[in-house]
Amino acid sequence: MIVDVHAHLFPPDFLRRVEEHGGALPRLSAAPLSSLSLAERVELMDRVGVDLQVLSVGVLQPYYEDPKVAVDLAKQANECYLETCETFAGRFATFIALPLPHLDAALAELDRLVGEPRVAGVAMSTSVLGRQLDDPVFAPLYAELDRRALTVFLHPTMLYDGFGPNSYGMDRSVGAMFEDTIAAVRLLLSGVLVRNPRLRIIVPHLGGTLPFIHGRIASHVRRAEDGWRSSGIAEGSGSSEEGVRRLFYDTAMRHAPALRCACDTVGHDRLVFGTDFPYVKTPEEFADRIEHVRGLPVPEDAKAGILGATAAGLLGLALPESRR
C-alpha cells in the first residue's frame, strides 16, 4: 500500500477566482504533470504503484482579510476536492482548507466537513497572512483539532522574503524550506504540541532544513533549559530529540541522501511518503520517489510504514479490499 500525502490539484475555475481576489497562484510551469487529466493521473498512479493521494490546496490557501472571500473560497476548494474524491472513489482523500484567520468561520467549516469519509485532516500554511503558527489567536483552533485528534498538513506560502532586494527566484526553491523549518521549530518551542498532545502535524519536504540543523536546535534548547522563561521556550517542551518526534515529515524531496539524513535524525516511524505531485517533472521521477524510500537501509516493514502504513493509521484512511 502506497499513500502519497503531499499532492495538489489546481482546478481552473478555482484558480480564476483566486486570481480575481489577488491570491498567490501556483507556478504551473514547474509542474509539467499538471496537464494530465484526472483519469490520466490515476492511470499514472496505477503504473507506479501509488494507491491513494491526499490532496491539499498548497499555495491556494483561502487566507484573506475579508471573511466573506475567505469563506467562499474555502468552500469552493473543499467541495471541488471532495467531488474529485467521490468521482474517483478510493484513489483520493483530502486535507480540507480553512478560511483563516477567521476563527469562528474556520471552526464552522471544520465542523461542517469533519466526519466526511474522504477528509483526512486539515491543510494549513506555515504562516497565515504574516501571523506565525504559534500566534495565540490560533489557540482555539488547535484546541479543537486536539479534541478531535486531527492531523494538520503544513505547506509553505512560497512568499519568504528574507533574501534582500533580489531573491533570484529563491523564494520558492530555497525560501520554502526555511518556511517549513521555522514553522516546525516555532511549534515545538512555543509548546503548541505540548498543550495539544493529540494534535498531529505533518511538515513537508523532510521538515525543510530541520534534519540538517538539528544539532544547532539541540544546542539552543540546552542553553535555554535553565532559563526557559526568559528565552520564550515553553516549559515542558522537552529536548529537541523529543520535540522532533512530536512531528511527522513527508518525503517530498528529490535528493535521496537528504531522505537518509532525515530517517537517521527523526526516525523512520515519523516519515510519511509524499511527492509534491504534480511538481515532478516526469513519470519516471514520480516512480523514483518510491525507489528512494525502497533504497533506505532500514527493514522492509519500516519501508512499508513510510510508504503507506504510517499515513493510513495517522489519517484514518481505509483502502478498498481490492487495493490492499
Backbone angles phi, psi at 148, to 5 degrees: -90, 0
Can you state the percent helix, strand and coil of the chain, rounding each to 5?
Answer: 50, 15, 35
CA distance 208 to 175: 9
- Using DSSP's 3-state secondary structure scheme, residue 54 falls into strand
Q: In 27-174, where does DSSP find H-type helix?
A: 38-48, 67-87, 103-113, 139-147, 170-173
CA distance 216 to 205: 19
> Which pLDDT score, from 0 to 100, does residue 324 have?
45
In 3D space, the residue among 241, 239, 245, 246 whose CA is nearest the CA of residue 222 turns out to be 239
Element containing residue 253 per DSSP (H, E)? none
List the domains of the chain with CATH numbers.
Answer: 3-319 (3.20.20.140)
> Which pLDDT score, from 0 to 100, does residue 238 have?
56
CA distance 231 to 253: 33
CA distance 233 to 221: 8
Averaged pLDDT in 10-residue chunks for the chain of 324 residues: 96 94 89 94 98 97 97 98 96 98 98 94 97 97 97 95 87 91 91 91 96 84 58 62 83 94 95 97 95 97 97 82 47
CA distance 221 to 240: 7
Instruction: Name the pTM for this structure.
Output: 0.94
- Using DSSP's 3-state secondary structure scheme, residue 134 falls into coil
